Structure formats: structure tokens, C-alpha cells
Chains A and B, each alone.
Chain A
């Protein structure tokens, strides 16, 4: 392959992974954990898929790892209310994304302003952020709704007929599951930061005075509500 093309592919991947690392860092992960996660997703994408049924399997990098992260984020949520909001966001986002796959035209040439993949990711991200007001719930809704949409589409095929196999997260780090999660966090970040700026602060209660907040300088500086 020509040097220029190798560079183009390499730089593209590096920029994507760089943004992905920053996005994960904005949730309940530290810099190093985020880096480790990205590394694991990359390597996991090359490990053979794990078969679930006769024609459905799951990729470790693009499927199992994001699902584990979603589980971890839900487990680490401070309150039952936060957990509930995140699960609600995930379910609503799934309905919205699945509905969108039926409404958005089949060919991207027909789409109004952007590729369906970005439309789905934005939809899930906006719903996740609105419901949970946090980047974590945006990720849960973004990546999780892609997994659930995959499963629903499979049920649909089983009901109406059709032939084919499905690998959940089969494209590894470049799967729509990961891309949707990352995009959702960035959307939440941009919307959230802009909203906070217009509002003139993070919330009515100043930092350090909120309920359930431990110390202003926790181990992880991003480990606060609203992030």
C-alpha cells in the first residue's frame, strides 16, 4: 500500500482513538483506564468471535467490552435514581434508534443531512443526555441502544424470515456500537458545557455543596455528577 494511504489510515485511526480516549476519560474512567480500555477493544476486535447461537455471535472488542463498560457505569452510579434514569434513557434510545432504522431511508443517498450511523448515534446521545444529564448516561444510551437494536433486528428476522448471521460488535473498535457511544459522549459534552455556560454554572447548587458529593478532589477529577 502506498505510504500516503498508510498514513491516511493510520492518522485516521489515531485521531479516532484519541477522541475515544478523551471521551472515556470524561466518564468514570481515569486516563490510564481509558487507555487500557481502548487497547483492549483494539486487541479484542482481532480475537475470534464468541458464538451465542447458531447464527449469532459476539465480538470481544466491539461487543463484550462496551457491554461490560455499560454494566460498570450502571454499577458505579451513585443513586438508584441515576441508575433508573440511565436504564430509562437506554430503553427510550433503543426505541428511537430502531424506529429510525425503519423511517430513515435505506440508501444513505436519500438521507437528509448525514449518514444514518451518525443520525442514530446523535439520537441516542441526545436522549441519553436529556434523560440522565450526564455523559455516562449518554454513553449507556449510545452504545447500549446499538446493541439492543441489533438484537431486536435479529428477532425481526426470526419473525419475518430471512437468512444471515449476525456478529454483535463485529467491526471491533470501528463498530457502530463504539462509534455511537463515543459520539454520544461528545454530544453530551458539547451540549452540556454550552448549557452550563449559558446557565452560568454547573447547577444551582455550587460544587462541593451537593448531596452525595464526597470531597471536591476525589481520586478521579472527573468523578462528579454532571460529568
Chain B
């Protein structure tokens, strides 16, 4: 490439970058915003979810009864476990209405692979020798971080977003100190992961990895929602308090286990502090939950609730989390203090392992077929590869080559 071409390209890149900066921060009123109104309008075809008209989505059942309201865009396939433990799956979204049908039980195993994995896991030995962890208090560890550390509560913090450190960090501190009172060692990251854009989860991935190196029993990513305040207010322990939503990412191999974890927490919360958990939302995305099968995102209230109320609720949740993890059979199985059971955390994980291997083989086969074009060529290529790679063992099984 000629030097003039390079200069031109560099100039173009600079102008584009400058454009993005000005587009995002041109209007001085709001320091941190995702994009301007114009760009939102322009990209509406990409992003039909940003509702600026002040309307919400209402999740309704087949008879048209409202289940919940949310500002979040609901997609076909999303599911919601309500406060009353009824499980709903969205099958149609029309205008402001998301139609959901009630499903008997939550499909912790992927629906398409469920019969296969269930069938195979029936033959799996669940009596593996397990090195039981001593249940001493020093072994108890929980990690807390905030992917969106700038999130704040308007009535208490004065702004919905504080890039130097938002109110949600203080909610995290309350959560940590209550867990410590319960005898749990807490690793709490005060990292903000600013700027508040969709790259935040990529940056918080590093924090999550740091926490996971300490081998915690569970990791919580604390957030607050952005819907009207009444959506998160309910009577809990005889007082009007702020509720918590548990969010499970559907697009990763750990979703079954994380859903099971969320359901276990909710069950304990329903006994100890009914209404504390607003529901469990199984939504698109990852939330870095691909990194660990005991990792949840918590939405503690919304930006228009007071932070003090959110802190009171997270205090109650800390009690729920320690009770579930350290005082129930299911929690013991989660931590490996009890052997795996087919219907418990271990069994779900086994099912997912089989599904994962199956999908990997399918992907490898599909990929090989694309690159060779026909089954004959595929066979020849696999044979050729096996001969090249395992030339010292000519009898070796050509099927060994699953990687290419």
C-alpha cells in the first residue's frame, strides 16, 4: 500500500473515532449515556428494545392476565419464574405484550437435548469417590463484583450513574459485611468497569476471573434495574421493601446449573422472607456466567428506589445465600460437601457435559463437511489426517481425529 493510501486510511480512522466520541458525548447535559436520541433512532432497526416512549412490556398468560411488567425487551424463548414459582415461557411478542404459557417444570436441561442427556445420565455412576471439603468456616468464600459499578440510586445518590463509583458499590459493601457476620470470607471488588457501555461485561470478565482464582462457593454480580420503582416494591416481612431479581444467562453451557442455583436460593428466600425475590429471569446473553456454574446476576431494586432500602434487602438476601449454601442439602451438593445426585446440581452438570460433548462433535463434523464438501472427501481427509498424525501407529482408529 502506498504511503498516501496509508495516510488516507489513518485519517479516515481518526475522523470516524472522533465522530463516535462527539456522537456519544456531544450533548453536555448527560456525561454518561449510551448513545444520543438520533443514533438510537437511526439504529432502531438494530435495536428495537430501547423504549423511549415510556411504555413497558407486559408479560401475560394465555388468558391475558398480567404476570409482570418490565422495561426490558422480552424475546420468544425467554422465561420467567414468578414470585409464586409458576414458570412461564414466552412464545409470542406482539407490540407491548409478551404472551407466555405456563410450563410444568423449569427445563434446567436444554429442551432439545433433554431426553438424550437424561437417558444417558441414567447409566452414569453417581457414587464417585468425592473428597469432602471440611465445612470449617475458613473454607466459606463468596465473591462479589459489579459489572456496572457506576449504577446508582437517584433518591439517595442524586444521580443514576456515577462513573467514580456508584451507589451499587455501597449495596455490595452491605452485602459483604453481612456475609462476613455469617462467617463467610468475602472477596468484594470495587472496580467500576467504566465507561458504562456494552464493553463493560468484557472488562468485568477480568474481575470475575480474579475472583474465581480464589475458588469461591458462589459469585454474585450486583446491579440495579432501570424500571419504575413500584415494579420493585412489595411487602416483605410486614414492611414495604425493595425486591431482588435473579438473572440467569441462557447463552452458555452453565445455564442449567445457574438456574438450579437461582431456584434453590429462591426457595430458601420464599420460606424466610416471602416476596424478597421478585423472580428469576432467564434471558439472552451470557453475563460471564460461562465462567462458573454458581454465578448469578442480581438486580437489587431499580434506579428510583432508595439505596438504603436496597441495602436492607441485600442484608436479608445475605442470610438467604448463606442458609442455602451452608445449611441445606442442595447447597452442600452445590459446594461438593455431599455427593452428586441425579436431580441435583451434579446431575444437571453431568447432563450438560454430555450435551456439550455432543454439540462439539456436531460442530466438528459440520465444519469438516463444509471444508471437504462431500462425505467421501471427508472420509479421505480424516484418514489422511490420522495417517499423518499417528504415523507410528498405523492401526490407530481414524475416528480419533475429532478435533479437525
Using a CB–CB cutoff of 8 Å, the interface residues on chain A facing chain B are: 1-5, 7-9, 11-12, 15, 18-19, 21-22, 31, 45-46, 59, 62, 80-81, 84-85, 88, 91-92, 94-95, 98-118, 120, 146, 149-150, 152-153, 156-157, 160-167, 169-172, 174-176, 186, 189-190, 193-194, 197
Contacts and interface: CB of A to CB of B under 8 A. Distances in A.
B349 A110 contact: no
A189 B1 contact: no
Interface size class of B (residues with CB under 8 A): 35 or more
Contacts of A104: 47, 198
Contact of B206 (A92, A163, A170): A170
B158 interface: no
B174 interface: no
Contact of B197 (A91, A95, A106, A197): A106
15 contacts: A2-B333, A4-B350, A5-B293, A5-B346, A9-B292, A12-B290, A46-B213, A84-B5, A91-B10, A103-B43, A109-B73, A146-B202, A162-B194, A165-B191, A175-B209
Given A81-B1, A109-B284, A5 B197 contact: no
Contacts of B197: 101-102, 106, 153
A226 to B, nearest CB: 13
Nearest to A168: B206
Nearest to A119: B198
A160 B195 contact: yes
A80 B1 contact: yes
Given A8-B352, A170-B205, 15 more contacts: A5-B293, A5-B346, A31-B389, A84-B6, A88-B9, A102-B39, A108-B285, A109-B284, A110-B73, A114-B284, A116-B199, A153-B195, A162-B163, A170-B209, A176-B205
B31 A117 contact: no
B249 interface: yes
10 A-B pairs closest in CB distance: A108-B285, A170-B206, A4-B349, A162-B163, A84-B1, A4-B346, A162-B194, A2-B346, A171-B209, A101-B199
Interface stretch (B61-69, B100-108, B268-276, B367-375): B367-375
Interface in B326-349: 333-336, 339-340, 344-349
B87 to A, nearest CB: 18
From DSSP, what is the main secondary structure of chain A's interface residues? helix
Interface in B15-60: 16-17, 20-21, 23-25, 31-32, 34-35, 39, 43, 46-50
Contacts of A109: 72-73, 247, 281, 283-285
A197 B374 CA distance: 11
Contacts of A162: 150, 163-164, 192, 194-195
Given A91-B13, A161-B31, A2 B202 contact: no
Contacts of B345: 2, 4-5
Given A22-B404, A162-B194, A165-B191, A103 B285 contact: no
B128 interface: yes
Interface string B200-222: 11110111111001000000000
B165 interface: yes
A43 to B, nearest CB: 14
Given A156-B195, A163-B163, A1 B335 contact: yes
A56 to B, nearest CB: 12
Contacts of B284: 108-109, 111, 113-115
B360 interface: yes
A57 to B, nearest CB: 10
B34 A102 contact: yes
Contacts of B48: 112
